[in-house]
Structure 1
């Protein structure tokens, strides 16, 4: 794994101090997400979920900001971590808010600092060699979100493996949705090089207006792997004790399955493949059966 030049909680560039806010809102919120999670969790947990989401959203916006150099991105992410860990007092309001939330709930700070590992990686790494390398990215970019939600609700760590599978599935599905856009706007390709090579596809195929046959084979290969992750995730609702979180998990699992089906039959280069109203309605109905 590549490491950035600045890779620690307290190392900040000379030009960036805690007196300079590092946060700029991209305009995205939970309504832009495939799987917003705060809307059906218990009211008492919503402020904490929103604090975690705001922290993650800001870090993601920094990593995707085309006007910042890699070192500038990493410096801003380092300052966020410094504020989160209490090594700096100012400069990142979302980190300050999450620091207070984590202190109140007793949740492991690693569920937040792990996200920053992924966003630092996004600042410097634009290609992935293998499926294992992509899953390692998901270990930091997606799996901490599920673990945070489980810990917030007091769930057993026995839920972690199936939660990790579900979160990895959601991350890969998002990469498949945005594969053309990520390359065009960020010069980022999450499709593993070994799978591209095995199918005779090239990264340049992502610049087309529709999928080539080799690229379609790559997407189908990745969807096969993602569907196996969804199978691994299937036990999660039954392992989840909190009834509202159980419903949330069941709905998200069904949405992941339906989005995989949409991507199986859609072309993400021709138009963004996304969930439709019928997918959401059916997933809600099936999820509520988990009550």
Structure 2
């Protein structure tokens, strides 16, 4: 479960029931394809936004129960349309994803954490909500905890990718937090990992960890293999945060990634983890 791109989320894992692998793959293909339009290559802003509009048009056709328009995207939308129809999936989360990807094209700075969380609400949370619809677990508490896990995964991705995002050139660190800790854009440009930077990133790592642990009880409420899938995702995200800390918060020179030894530790922790009440900030098995 590398915390990177849309691999933040379970993608047709062997732990998933076979009947759910196809719709999960269809959702992933849509999200990954649209994200690549917004973020990959050297296309102009106009071309990226036009590409995302083609994805919106495809969703509109699904909403009208029309076949996909002819073209390169037709197979992907045919697959997605079948998943939507077969599992009665809501389309709003898919539109939210496109809204977030469009925002990424034109917005490269965030004023405060609330603004960043609003982005996460549309860029990450929709995937978790769609998966809960597939699992038929759409009660209010499950949706809330899923949002916490998905937003935490998005934040973890931001903190491990500060240097990568700077080259785009984006900064997801909230501007008010940067000012409070005395970190400037010039510091990021210079890859300056001093006490100010370490304090800022330690604060953000703590935020992401708390959010992840608050959502973690969902992994124990979901049944069978689905729950195990989510436990591994939670532990993988927490392990990335430990990697950031182990690197002394110097994500400029050492981007934390999960290796074989990490996977063994993640599996062990998932096995030992115990359910806690929602809102708890402690999960057993963190040794």
Counterpart of 1:171? 154
Counterpart of 2:111? 129
Counterpart of 1:10? none
What are the Cα deviations for residues 225-278 of structure 1, in whole angstroms up to 9, with x where unaligned? Answer: 1111022112112322x3111111111111111111111222210121112322
**RMSD across aligned C-alpha pairs, in angstroms?**
2.1
Q: TM-score, normalised by structure 2?
A: 0.84
Counterpart of 1:189? 171
Q: How does 1:44-193 map to 2 (within 5 A)?
A: 44-86=19-61, 89-91=69-71, 92-93=73-74, 94-157=76-139, 158-184=141-167, 186-193=168-175
What are the Cα deviations for residues 40-79 of structure 1, in whole angstroms up to 9, with x where unaligned? Answer: 2111111111111111111111111342222221111111
Q: Distance in 2 between matches of 1:143 and 1:32?
A: 12
CA contact (8 A) 2:12 2:25 kept: yes
Q: Distance in 2 between matches of 1:31 and 1:191?
A: 18
Unaligned runs of 5+ in 1: 1-29
CA contact (8 A) 1:83 1:96 kept: no
Q: Distance in 2 between matches of 1:227 and 1:85?
A: 37
Counterpart of 1:261? 242
Counterpart of 1:229? 211
What are the Cα deviations for residues 169-221 of structure 1, in whole angstroms up to 9, with x where unaligned? Answer: 1000001111111111x111111100100011012222234523322221111
Structure 1 position 32, deviation (Å): 8.3
Counterpart of 2:285? none
Q: Distance in 1 between matches of 2:197 and 2:38?
A: 27
Shifted more, 281-290 versus 222-231: the winner is 281-290
Q: Distance in 2 between matches of 1:164 and 1:34?
A: 13
Q: Distance in 1 between matches of 2:234 and 2:224?
A: 15
Q: TM-score, normalised by structure 1?
A: 0.83
CA contact (8 A) 2:56 2:98 kept: yes
Q: Distance in 2 between matches of 1:271 and 1:95?
A: 38
Structure 1 position 279, deviation (Å): 2.2
User: Is structure 2 residue 11 aligned with structure 1 residue 37?
Assistant: yes
Q: Distance in 2 between matches of 1:210 and 1:245?
A: 41
Count residues in correspondence: 260
Q: Distance in 2 between matches of 1:224 and 1:43?
A: 36
Unaligned runs of 5+ in 2: 275-287
